[in-house]
Amino acid sequence: MIKNKYMRARVFRATLVVFFAVTSLFIISAAVIGAGKMASVAPLNPSYIEQMAKRQAAALTGEPLFKPGFNGRGKGLIPSRINHSFKQRHRADRAKVHAAMQGALNQSGYPSYYNLVQKGWVSPVKDQSNCGSCWAHAAIASIESYIMPTKTDFSEQFIIDTHGFDWGPCDGGTNEMAVAVFARQGVIAINQYTYQYLDATASSPAMPPSAISAAHIQQAEWLQTGLLNGQPYNDDLKWALTSFGVACAIGVNFDNNYYNSDTASLYVPINEGTDHAVAVVGWDDNYAASNFNPQPPGPGAWIVKNSWGTDFGNYGYFYLSYWDASVGPEGYAYNDNESATNYNWAYQYDPLGWLDNIGFGTDQDGTSTAWMANVFRANAQGSHIKAVSFYLYEWNTYYDVYIYDKVVTGGELYNPSVDPVIGNLVYHQSGYFSEDAGYVTVVLKKAVHVTPGYNFSVVVKLKDGYGYQWPLAMQDQVAPPDGNSSRSYAIPGQSFISADGSQGSWQDLYTWSPPAKVCLKAFAAK
């Protein structure tokens, strides 16, 4: 039983088709930086590359990219650009950490049945209609679950209209697109930006008078989902559901041929890739395999909230077999939202968020270390830095945050000479993320003053304890048909990487091809 899910969340946070695209369009030039190390970009997710090829083919033939779901309802989930396969090697370590945490809180371990709906922590079922906006609905379902039972209803339309990527509102999206939008601008109430794609006969859920206008998203916890070595990997979802008390956004392939409408259950026995985002709200270990058609190898099912209206399934919900082979490898739990008034200013260069990873290889001790920095011009509205945010590829990551005031800038206007660590070092804070991955916010132990009208830098060192070679997240420009970020741009003198963080070792990512920026924000107040 969760006594205070908000406090628990904070406690846990503290404690050929393919070849051409990879070789010609997604390779970013390497450079020798710092102590002779070569910077490189991580390989992309093969499923994403395959999906981009399918999208290009669909555009040429006029065929729909996604087959319609129940009663013609839309789908729209695109596989992540990020290749998450490296993390799967460390599932056992992750499970041990979770087991220790769960055991300390509940000696009986996970119950056989758990349902957030019964606790009043799930918002009403919505209807995406025939629009490919499931990715936004699933993410919003998780955010709304976090703030329940205050019953605030947030706007999916705002997300799909303002995400900033090349795809249109109903053309689909990735989980990371949702994270980027929330990190950039937060969310607003649905009564301020209502959903426009409902059928004429459909109705929106009742709008409570307590709705708020916006909220900041401070953390999006990355979760491992689906099968692992042919067996269900349930630990991350059960951990997130019980620890944070929030619905979790995941991806499935909702193939109507494998859906049993009599029992509102889905089991896809083959990996067909993901095409639909949904929100897991609970589980039933004893849900019989005989309820599925065809039958999976064993019992057990997730209780899933869909976005196809209450006419679908069991009043909008369905059971998803633990053994479903189509479930994607990544999910997200939005487990930390804050008031929209807690910061006056957000310094950021990455409105499109996490699109690639960059790094310098593995250290001699089996770990990997990389540095990133953004240089901002301070203003009076944001003269006191209170928090910084960035992305973590995986757990077991150490960080150091440095803030330099009055960073020296020379050179010409369009060819500046900037070193982010040449200035007045005014703050340093270090820490460790033992079980967190995804989008994280580090709240500084004290507000740090930066001088308005002068440049300041936020410098972050990340050390991946498992040795992932590309620990830094970045935003770069990849135009259709191979990507969706043609609107990404960079300006010289703003965003940098280094192998060791020393003076003279920093490379401006503007000089890369295509120009890029690290995903690093600073939040401030007067």
Residues 313 and 378 in one domain: no
Among 267, 300, 335, give the residue marking a domain's end. Answer: 335
- The H or E element containing residue 161 is helix 156-162
Residues 323 and 410 in one domain: no
- State the chain's mean pLDDT as an integer: 86
Give a three-class secondary structure readout of 387-403.
EEEEEECCCCEEEEEEE
Residues 381 and 321 in one domain: no
**Where does the pLDDT of residue 101 fall: very low under 50, low under 70, confident under 90, or very high at 90 and above?**
low
Residues 385 and 484 in one domain: yes
Residues 426 and 450: beta-carbon distance below 8 Å = yes
Pick the closest to residue 376 from 353, 345, 401, 338 (CA basis): 345
**Where does the pLDDT of residue 340 fall: very low under 50, low under 70, confident under 90, or very high at 90 and above?**
low
**Where does the pLDDT of residue 209 fall: very low under 50, low under 70, confident under 90, or very high at 90 and above?**
very low
* Strand pairing category for 317-321 and 265-266: parallel
Give residue 450's domain range.
Answer: 343-525
Residue 140 falls within a domain, yes or no?
yes
Among 312, 335, 358, give the residue marking a domain's end. Answer: 335
Spatial separation of the C-alpha atoms in residues 215 and 220, rounded to whole Å: 14
Residue 190 falls within a domain, yes or no?
yes
Average pLDDT score over residue span 413-440: 92
DSSP label of 167: S
Residues 294 and 268: beta-carbon distance below 8 Å = no
Residues 277 and 388 in one domain: no
Spell out the residues 6+ positions from residue 231 whose beta carbon is closer than 8 angstroms to its own: none
Residues 324 and 380 in one domain: no
Question: What is the structure's pLDDT at 275?
Answer: 95
Q: pLDDT at residue 86 above 60?
A: yes
Question: What is the structure's pLDDT at 58?
Answer: 87
Average pLDDT score over residue span 467-476: 96
Could you read off the pLDDT of 223-239 as tens digits, one per residue? Answer: 999 998 889 999 999 99
In the chain, the number of structural domains is 2
Task: Identify the CATH number of the domain in which residue 399 sits.
Answer: 2.60.120
Residues 328 and 357 in one domain: no
Residue 7 falls within a domain, yes or no?
no
Residue 50 falls within a domain, yes or no?
no
Residues 130 and 180 in one domain: yes
Average pLDDT score over residue span 374-393: 96
Residue 94 falls within a domain, yes or no?
no
Question: What is the structure's pLDDT at 221?
Answer: 94
Residue 511 falls within a domain, yes or no?
yes
Residues 301 and 424 in one domain: no
Question: What is the structure's pLDDT at 411?
Answer: 77
* Strand pairing category for 214-224 and 248-252: unpaired
* Strand pairing category for 345-347 and 520-525: antiparallel
* Strand pairing category for 507-508 and 455-464: unpaired
* Number of other CB atoms surrounding residue 258 within 10 Å: 20
Residues 324 and 426 in one domain: no
Task: Identify the CATH number of the domain in which residue 268 sits.
Answer: 3.90.70.10
Least confident of 33-47, 190-204, 256-270, 332-346: 190-204
Least confident of 204-218, 287-301, 354-368, 461-475: 204-218
Residue 474 falls within a domain, yes or no?
yes
Length of the chain: 526
Of the two residues 32 and 175, the one the predictor is more confident about is 175
Q: 107 to each of 46, 93, 160, 291, 316, how far by Cα in Å?
A: 41, 20, 43, 31, 34
Tell which phi-psi region holds residue 453, choosing left (phi > 0), alpha (psi between -120 and 50) or beta: left
Q: pLDDT at residue 352 above 60?
A: yes
> Model's pTM, two decimal places?
0.88
Residues 120 and 233 in one domain: yes
Residues 290 and 372 in one domain: no
Tokens 């095409």 found at: 275
Residue 124 falls within a domain, yes or no?
yes
Among 301, 335, 369, give the residue marking a domain's end. Answer: 335
